[in-house]
């Protein structure tokens, strides 16, 4: 029997996940959506039950597993409730906004593995091929990883630290996963005066260095790039566009305007892997766990302390 | 409730579809697999019922919809049986091996729309982006389409005409669909003495010309490419690989060794669209119909008459 | 001592060659320019002597070697004059407009090797790397060559046959040179009604086939592309642009608006090789000879007979 | 009359320049080559006069202009001798190994402009197109520049500081020139234990930041890459190879094994620009001057003080 899923939050991300569970994920069915705005909830419900409160949804007997796409501040309470009821929960990043809250979740989830965190890049085919090439020894021992993370434009509600907490948190997780390593120290350079560009250098406990360009107002599109440099070669992402247009004096390869355009398939593959894991009882080894969520929050909180520019140790205390 | 699907044939293609319905398609469940070889059927069944005979599977009350991946010669009988029982059927190409058989299916399916044909390239994201660019007027009126279809190596059972009937049939369908046109005449040039390379030129009723290179022993990989040249620009496929490896003196973008590697996601998207259409009762406008299957067979049968090299009219009689 | 060069014709091509000899070619100096328009001649002369008549320039004692960039109709007389005076001559294509004139030049030049023809693509680094890869066996025996030749827009003085005589003549020469072969037959397909697009198929005496798209109004830029398909792989031109601009939603690789932008360095390398050959007395093996010029004219004259669309034998009579 | 050039040093670089002046540069002739090893000198002389001593060559009446490709330690003495005799001199980088020596040259050359430094990347067509795009406002105000400089393998005589003095000196110059800026501070990170990889961050007086990866043992080839990120877009180098090989499972774009393969045409264009400037008496505005040579040495000397890893101010004292 398929897994009965409730989605909490019907904003951009929640609505996107609701559609996936209703239309694209095998072995799942969307049974409930909650949002304080009933119109928004209804628009994403595909005929499923609508709740005003996330906690109500979690407690409903209709719901076997929960996807949390509520505002960040609510994550902790919702995830804890799901754990209490023994229901698997996939929480959009961040797991929680403070290290203390994350730690509480890790402890509550210990030995149960009910909690997953939505670092969907781990399911992106390009990152996965990079990891496969690395793990197969095609590029030798990794020394350096270059990351570029450019947004078309910063959202209006953007403030200085969000460049780390909201955006760079993806690089923090994906590089840990790709390189199978932890960070030991970091330095940050703010580029320009606008607070929308950052150059970060992360040092790892296995010797490799991660260099990250974060640019919130890249103007030309949403663009994520990465290259791992090893002792015997490098592996890098190709341009994401699947076609080339020759027009107006140039060959053109387009970019999405946002992360959903670039990572739509990663979300699908992540949600499919999560459903498969929930149904089989065998955790998906690539899915980010509560512990990964704790580490991501731990790292980004420490990085934020060094803003607008500076450096220091990163201590992944747990 | 999800759609109960039976898969007929547990070879490479049938096994691949069975896995999709068992693990990746929303709204479907795999309930039956048939194959004369019970071991092969069992290996693809994911616990579903195993049948020795396709007809038995079609007649089973377990099965609501049928995917036909049996040998070509059996397609006609199986599709007709499904129509008789009013069950939707998605038939791997070709719909049937003779025009007469295809016509019989088209007539039996008239007004019912139970039959779909597995021209999966219509769901390939690259072809779809090409069509979107064309339909949006980005390249102006189409004049010429270049197609390249290269296999790593011809299968052992390959004979001369299969370069058309088995491989080029995909170009026949996809160019009709992309350009929204029918063919009026064609010329074929056999290149070299081995019978494994063909250069075809297809003329259409809207004036555009399609040029196709077919090469069955390309040696370096499986590679499909296409470019549409219009009055204001062109649109072409990008290289399919998602990463670039720098190694051994070169930047490298890899190819699959076969069509499944290249088109795996197209099959998934096709099967998902078919399930959605079956469940909703609204046909998917992009899916190849019985009529499309008839036309493909009609065209390739006429092309085969011109082999090893020659030309003449193409008359899509129905 | 450097070679004293006179340039006949001060239009776009003549002016371009004059600048090369004045500023970029080692071992040469520009000593004379002729043009019926004295202003145009003067503007390209870099202080060298100006003549109104090409024959006068050839006869001048100042001039040791001659570049002919006069109108096509004058080529025969000018080249014959240079031969008569024993002066090396590099003639822009075509060598002459009729086969009879070309044959006369070939006979007059027999045993003297004074005549070269400006098929500059033979010096283009991309074509040369393609030839090197082919000759080194990197792609195995060649079977098929795809050529694309697109102009931004047809010049006003363009008439139907010029698509062959003026533009495709370059493909006629470069494919002979690359594949080291002669043509035996051809077929032409006119695409669309405007007479500005042609699809040609040339068959060679070594079994390989050459497919050429000619498009005089490609609208997006001047674009020449080629790929040779061999038994073990293929070799193709890369996009010509040396940089990638990310701007306005896309990564962009620009095209030149005309052939000089694309082939400027080929002209330089050709003119340098010619000067080196003249000075050393050792002919450059890659330079097109009078015989190559005769064959190019012989082939294109026969192709023109098949226009607007058709086919038949190509007989390189000499 | 062409410029009579003497080349000092007949090693890899001197031999390369000698060939250029003998065979590819307009308006120049090679009249003398010097090297302590007479065989080596003779092999590069193309029939020109051979000297054992560079000073002798400079003093010879045969020689009007001098190219210095002697060992670094000799640069200062040779350049000063050329200035004394009023002969133009193009000195391979570095201008001299100490700031004091460079400053002495700058002072001796003040008001005379006899000295140029061989930072040939300024003539590389790809860098020049990047600069043209930047200067034309195509990418808006520059914020960040990424540089990658990878050697196939470190030469045997390589020691730790050479990664800066010998290799990164090119990035020091080219980024100053591209961004039209001076450096104010820098930080260096040594990556790995082998001393063959460095990540440098250079801050400029106009706010932009330059990030440089230096890797001396990249194993796969010699590869230089750069991207400038601006407020409205970015401009980056394309892959350098002019052809694509499809072979052995992948599309391949090759790399040179060394800098001459990558920058051969840059050297030619530089040497041609230098000869043109010498003959016309009008300095080439893009050529690196004695002052540029002083600044490069000044910067790299300060950077070396921060090795193996560290940071601090860069003060371009003059």
pLDDT, tens digit, 9 for 90 and up, residues D210-236? 999 999 999 999 999 999 999 999 999
Average pLDDT of the segment spanning D227-254? 98
Where do the CATH 3.30.360.10 domains begin and end in chain A? Answer: 122-261
Average pLDDT of the segment spanning B264-274? 98
Report the residue of chain B nearest A280, measured CA to CA: B23
Q: Which chains touch B (3 or more CB pairs under 8 A)?
A: A, C, D
Give the model confidence (pLDDT) of C217-247 as tens digits.
999 999 999 999 999 999 999 999 999 999 9
pLDDT at A316 over 80: no
> Do A207 and D193 make contact, defined as CB atoms within 8 angstroms?
yes
To the nearest whole angstrom, how far is the Cα of B256 from the nearest Cα of chain D? 8
For D231, the closest of A187, A208, A219 (CB atoms) is A219
Which residues in chain C are closer than 8 Å to B229, comparing Cβ atoms? 213, 215, 218
Which residues in chain C are closer than 8 Å to D236, comparing Cβ atoms? 243-244, 246
Retrieve residue A123's tokens. 């399911």
> Do C220 and B207 make contact, defined as CB atoms within 8 angstroms?
no
Position A228 scores a pLDDT of 98
CATH code of the domain occupying C3-117: 3.40.50.720
Report the residue of chain C nearest A246, measured CA to CA: C220
pLDDT at A318 over 70: no
Which residues in chain D are closer than 8 Å to B246, comparing Cβ atoms? 220-221, 223, 255
Which residues in chain B are closer than 8 Å to A2, comparing Cβ atoms? 2
Calpha distance D66→D64 (Å, rounded): 7
Q: pLDDT band at residue C318, thresholds of 50, 70 and 90? A: low
Q: What is the ipTM metric for this complex?
A: 0.96
For D247, the closest of C25, C233, C241 (CB atoms) is C233
Give the model confidence (pLDDT) of B207-234 as tens digits.
999 999 999 999 999 999 999 999 999 9
> Do D233 and C248 make contact, defined as CB atoms within 8 angstroms?
yes
Calpha distance B64→D93 (Å, rounded): 78
Retrieve residue B240's tokens. 């399919």
For C248, the closest of A220, A223, A245 (CB atoms) is A220
> Do C250 and A223 make contact, defined as CB atoms within 8 angstroms?
no
To the nearest whole angstrom, how far is the Cα of A256 from the nearest Cα of chain C? 8
Q: Which chains touch A (3 or more CB pairs under 8 A)?
A: B, C, D
Q: pLDDT band at residue C316, thresholds of 50, 70 and 90? A: low
> Do C189 and B199 make contact, defined as CB atoms within 8 angstroms?
no
Give the model confidence (pLDDT) of A255-268 as tens digits.
999 999 999 999 99
Position B317 scores a pLDDT of 58
Which residues in chain D are closer than 8 Å to C233, comparing Cβ atoms? 245-248
For D246, the closest of B220, B245, B246 (CB atoms) is B220
Average pLDDT of the segment spanning D26-42? 97
Size of interface A-B (CB pairs under 8 A): 93
Report the residue of chain A nearest B226, measured CA to CA: A243
Average pLDDT of the segment spanning B88-102? 97
Give the model confidence (pLDDT) of D66-105 as tens digits.
999 999 999 999 999 999 999 999 999 999 999 999 999 9
Calpha distance C279→C270 (Å, rounded): 14
Which residues in chain D are closer than 8 Å to C248, comparing Cβ atoms? 233
Which residues in chain C are closer than 8 Å to A255, comparing Cβ atoms? 246, 249-251
Position C231 scores a pLDDT of 98
For B209, the closest of C191, C219, C232 (CB atoms) is C191
Query: Which CATH architecture best describes the domain A122-261?
Result: 2-Layer Sandwich (3.30)
Position A315 scores a pLDDT of 78
Where do the CATH 3.40.50.720 domains begin and end in chain C? Answer: 3-117
Report the residue of chain A nearest C251, measured CA to CA: A253
pLDDT at C317 over 70: no
Superfamily per CATH, domain C122-263? Dihydrodipicolinate Reductase; domain 2 (3.30.360.10)
> Do C242 and D238 make contact, defined as CB atoms within 8 angstroms?
yes
Average pLDDT of the segment spanning B84-93? 98
> Do B253 and D250 make contact, defined as CB atoms within 8 angstroms?
yes
Which residues in chain C are closer than 8 Å to A251, comparing Cβ atoms? 239, 241, 252-255
Closest alpha carbon to B106 in B86, B76, B85 = B76
Which residues in chain D are closer than 8 Å to A146, comparing Cβ atoms? 146, 213
To the nearest whole angstrom, how far is the Cα of C114 from the nearest Cα of chain B? 38
| % of chain D surpassing 90 pLDDT | 93
For D253, the closest of C23, C238, C247 (CB atoms) is C238
> Do D243 and C28 make contact, defined as CB atoms within 8 angstroms?
no
For B255, the closest of D221, D250, D253 (CB atoms) is D250
To the nearest whole angstrom, how far is the Cα of C294 from the nearest Cα of chain B? 28
Give the model confidence (pLDDT) of D170-215 as tens digits.
999 999 999 999 999 999 999 999 999 999 999 999 999 999 999 9
Query: Which CATH architecture best describes the domain B122-263+297-313?
Result: 2-Layer Sandwich (3.30)
For A129, the closest of B234, B242, B272 (CB atoms) is B242
Which of D5, D26, D238 has the highest number of chain C CBs within 10 A, making it the mutation to test binding with C? D26
> Do A220 and C254 make contact, defined as CB atoms within 8 angstroms?
no
Which residues in chain C are closer than 8 Å to D23, comparing Cβ atoms? 26-27, 276
- Residue A5 backbone dihedrals phi, psi, to 5 degrees: -115, 140
To the nearest whole angstrom, how far is the Cα of B44 from the nearest Cα of chain D? 29
Which of A279-288, D45-54, D150-159, D274-283 shows the lowest mean pLDDT across its residues?
A: D150-159
> Do A238 and B233 make contact, defined as CB atoms within 8 angstroms?
no
Give the model confidence (pLDDT) of B143-196 as tens digits.
999 999 999 999 888 877 999 999 999 999 999 999 999 999 999 999 999 999
For residue A60, CA distances in Å to A8, A46, A56, B317 come to: 12, 18, 6, 59
To the nearest whole angstrom, how far is the Cα of A151 from the nearest Cα of chain D? 12
For chain D, give the DSSP string.
Answer: --EEEEEE--SHHHHHHHHHHHHT-TTEEEEEEE-SSHHHHHHTSTT-EEES-HHHHHH-TT-SEEEE-S-GGGHHHHHHHHHHTT--EEEPSPS-SSHHHHHHHHHHHTTT--EEE--GGGG-HHHHHHHHHHHTTTT-SEEEEEEEEE-SS--TT--TTHIIIIIIHHHHHHHHHHHT--EEEEEEEE-SSSS-EEEEEEEETTS-EEEEEEETT-SS--EEEEEEEESS-EEEEPPS-SEEEEETTEEEEE--SSHHHHHHHHHHHHHHHHHHHHHHS---TTSEEHHHHHHHHHHHHHHHHT-SSEEEE-----
pLDDT at A1 over 80: no
CATH code of the domain occupying D122-258+297-313: 3.30.360.10
SS3 string, chain C, reads CCEEEEEECCCHHHHHHHHHHHHCCCCEEEEEEECCCHHHHHHCCCCCEEECCHHHHHHCCCCCEEEECCCHHHHHHHHHHHHHCCCCEEECCCCCCCHHHHHHHHHHHCCCCCEEECCHHHHCHHHHHHHHHHHCCCCCCEEEEEEEEECCCCCCCCCCCHHHHHHHHHHHHHHHHHHCCCEEEEEEEECCCCCCEEEEEEEECCCCEEEEEEECCCCCCEEEEEEEEECCCEEEECCCCCEEEEECCEEEEECECCHHHHHHHHHHHHHHHHHHHHHHCCCCCCCEEHHHHHHHHHHHHHHHHCCCCEEEECCCCC
The chain C residues in contact with chain B (CB within 8 A) are 140, 143-144, 146, 187, 189, 191-193, 197, 199, 201, 203, 207-209, 211, 213, 215, 217-220, 229, 231-234
> Do A146 and D144 make contact, defined as CB atoms within 8 angstroms?
no
Where do the CATH 3.30.360.10 domains begin and end in chain C? Answer: 122-263
> Do D248 and B220 make contact, defined as CB atoms within 8 angstroms?
yes
Which of A151, A217, A252 has the highest number of chain C CBs within 10 A, making it the mutation to test binding with C? A252
Give the model confidence (pLDDT) of B115-153 as tens digits.
999 999 999 999 999 999 999 999 999 999 999 999 999
pTM, full prediction? 0.97
> Do C133 and D245 make contact, defined as CB atoms within 8 angstroms?
yes
């Amino acid at each position: 029997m398929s897994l009965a899923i409730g989605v909490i939050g019907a904003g951009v991300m929640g609505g996107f996940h609701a559609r996936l569970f209703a239309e694209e994920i095998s072995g799942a069915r969307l049974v409930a959506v909650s949002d304080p705005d009933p119109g928004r909830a209804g628009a994403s419900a595909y005929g499923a039950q609508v709740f005003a409160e996330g906690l109500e949804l979690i407690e409903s007997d209709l719901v076997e597993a929960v996807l949390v796409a509520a505002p960040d501040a609510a994550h902790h309470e919702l995830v804890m409730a799901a754990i209490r009821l023994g229901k698997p929960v996939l929480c959009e990043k961040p797991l929680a906004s403070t290290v203390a809250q994350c730690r509480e979740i890790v402890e509550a989830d210990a030995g149960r593995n009910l909690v997953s965190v939505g670092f969907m890049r781990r399911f992106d085919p390009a990152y996965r091929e990079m990891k496969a090439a690395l793990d197969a020894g095609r590029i030798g021992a990794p020394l350096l990883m270059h990351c570029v993370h450019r947004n078309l434009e910063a959202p209006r509600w953007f403030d200085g630290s969000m460049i780390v907490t909201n955006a760079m948190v993806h690089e923090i997780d994906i590089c840990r996963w790709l390189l199978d390593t932890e960070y030991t120290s970091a330095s940050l350079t703010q580029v320009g005066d606008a607070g929308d560009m950052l150059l970060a250098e992360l040092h790892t406990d296995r010797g490799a260095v991660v260099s990250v360009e974060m640019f919130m107002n890249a103007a030309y599109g949403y663009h994520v790039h990465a290259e791992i440099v090893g002792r015997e070669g490098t592996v890098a992402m190709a341009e994401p566009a699947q076609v080339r247009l020759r027009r107006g004096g140039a060959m053109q390869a387009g970019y999405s305007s946002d992360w959903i355009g670039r990572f739509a398939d990663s979300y699908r593959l992540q949600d499919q892997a999560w459903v498969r894991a929930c149904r089989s009882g065998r955790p998906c080894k690539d899915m980010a766990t509560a512990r990964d969520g704790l580490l991501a929050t731990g790292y980004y909180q420490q990085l934020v302390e060094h803003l607008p520019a500076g450096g220091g140790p990163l201590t992944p205390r747990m």
